[in-house]
Amino acid sequence: MQAPLSWLGSRLPLIQAPMAGAQDAGLALAVGAAGGLGSLPAALLGPDALRSQMHRLQSAGRPWLVNFFAHHPPAPDPVVEARWVERLRPWAQALGLDAEAAAPRGAVRQPFGPATCELLEAFRPTVVSFHFGLPPDDLLNRVRRTGARIVCSATTLREARWLEARGVDAVIAQGLEAGGHRGHFLDPDPSLQGPTLELLQAWRAQVKVPLIAAGGITDADDVRAAMASGAAAVQVGTAFLCCEEALTSSLHRTRLLDPHAPTALTNLFSGGLARGLENRLMRELGPVCADAPPFPLASPALAPLRERAEALGRDDFTPLWSGKRRGGCRTAPAAEVVAALARGFAWNAPAPQPLSPAPT
């Protein structure tokens, strides 16, 4: 068994997965107070929101993690975008949206850049995590100089080794069960990827840096299995989605709590492959559609459909991100989910270290 990751600074080697769109610092603070490492997802936050959320976390005086996307945004292609709008037209028309209202709108996810790096330099989080690979070396070196530990998701051994060669402190082994976007950046074909325990068992002898298990971990038995398979920590997302401190919508919560609702990998909502609960668009268009623009350019065209359907109380066009396993989801304080998972760790972890004061 791997030694648990003490540099996380939390009492337990348990990371609450960053979940853009479903949480803010509130969930991270609750998990931190309960002994896990709380995470702030930054992908959908503008600079002002990011600053105020990081200030909340830094002010609490506990270790914390902030997470960024490091994708390479493609140049928008008007032909591809027009084809996507055309593909969505029958559903837009059924909702009474005219062509103009159905045109793409809204901001798309921006990758980690120099301005965000300046904020990191001011706030100095304990851990910085990346999804979709790493930023360029100059930025990565700046992150490293803040003193933060750097971790990143990998979905194949090739990706894990690439990250190790770039000097990450730990690799997140994201199994196929995981909810939300696949973090792949070299191997987008999901048939090359595998479930969490298989990744751990296959990588443990091949990757020297510690592995963090992500995907399908919902209870103490899952924690035990991940740690026994070579993980030095676990990262849990879906099990926290119904917590009182999460910002998950009521439409999303209702579906998460349905034990029979199936999930699938889909590219419809952003253009990138992600796991979510099946909804009408996924069933009627197929969960994967070649006409969807590449990540992250598929989402703006869907925004008006989603908005109109949600106003009618329907989740037909809403991304309902969820892992395959939802047994740990409960409508309860996050501390209860942390306590349930904590039973899977066999040791008494040391108390966390105090942090430097927050910048004003």
Ligand X SMILES: Cc1cc2nc3c(=O)[nH]c(=O)nc-3n(C[C@H](O)[C@H](O)[C@H](O)COP(=O)(O)O)c2cc1C
Torsion of CA 188, 190, 195, 200, to 10 degrees: -30
Q: How far is the CB of 207 from ligand X (least distance, A)?
A: 17
Complex with ligand X: residue 161 or 275, whichever CB lies closer: 275
Starting at the edge strand found earlier in the chain, the sheet holding 65-69 runs 14-16, 233-236, 211-214, 170-174, 149-154, 127-131, 65-69, 39-41
Asked whether the beta carbons of 119 and 47 are under 8 A apart, the reply is yes
Q: How far is the CB of 232 from ligand X (least distance, A)?
A: 16
Q: How far is the CB of 175 from ligand X (least distance, A)?
A: 7
Distance between CA 200 and CA 173 in Å, rounded?
7
Give me the DSSP letters along 196-212: HHHHHHHHTTT--S-EE
Q: How far is the CB of 46 from ligand X (least distance, A)?
A: 15
Q: How far is the CB of 291 from ligand X (least distance, A)?
A: 24
Distance between CA 145 and CA 322 in Å, rounded?
35
Distance between CA 191 and CA 247 in Å, rounded?
32
Complex with ligand X: residue 128 or 178, whichever CB lies closer: 178
Complex with ligand X: residue 63 or 296, whichever CB lies closer: 296
Distance between CA 175 and CA 155 in Å, rounded?
7
Q: How far is the CB of 60 from ligand X (least distance, A)?
A: 21
Complex with ligand X: residue 23 or 58, whichever CB lies closer: 23
Q: How far is the CB of 248 from ligand X (least distance, A)?
A: 8
Other Cβ atoms within 10 Å of 247 Cβ, number? 13
Complex with ligand X: residue 121 or 219, whichever CB lies closer: 219
Residue nearest to ligand X (CB): 237
Distance between CA 50 and CA 32 in Å, rounded?
18
Complex with ligand X: residue 200 or 217, whichever CB lies closer: 217
Give me the DSSP letters along 143-203: HHHTT-EEEEEESSHHHHHHHHHTT-SEEEEE-TT-SEE---SS---GGG---HHHHHHHH
Other Cβ atoms within 10 Å of 138 Cβ, number? 9
> Helices 334-342 and 25-34: crossing angle, nearest 10°?
40
**Kind and range of the H or E run holding 299:** helix 299-311
Torsion of CA 98, 99, 100, 103, to 10 degrees: 120
Q: How far is the CB of 345 from ligand X (least distance, A)?
A: 16
Complex with ligand X: residue 43 or 57, whichever CB lies closer: 43
Complex with ligand X: residue 242 or 281, whichever CB lies closer: 242
Q: How far is the CB of 177 from ligand X (least distance, A)?
A: 5
Complex with ligand X: residue 53 or 153, whichever CB lies closer: 153
| 296 cis-preceded (ω within 30 degrees of 0) | yes
Complex with ligand X: residue 58 or 196, whichever CB lies closer: 196
Contacts to ligand X by CB under 6 A: 17-20, 22, 41, 43, 67, 131, 153, 174, 177-180, 214-217, 235-238, 321-323
Q: How far is the CB of 233 from ligand X (least distance, A)?
A: 13
What the block records as the tokens of 10 is: 């939390």
Q: Please give the C-alpha separations between residue 66 and each of 25, 28, 211, 331, 336, in angstroms, as whole numbers.
A: 10, 10, 18, 25, 23
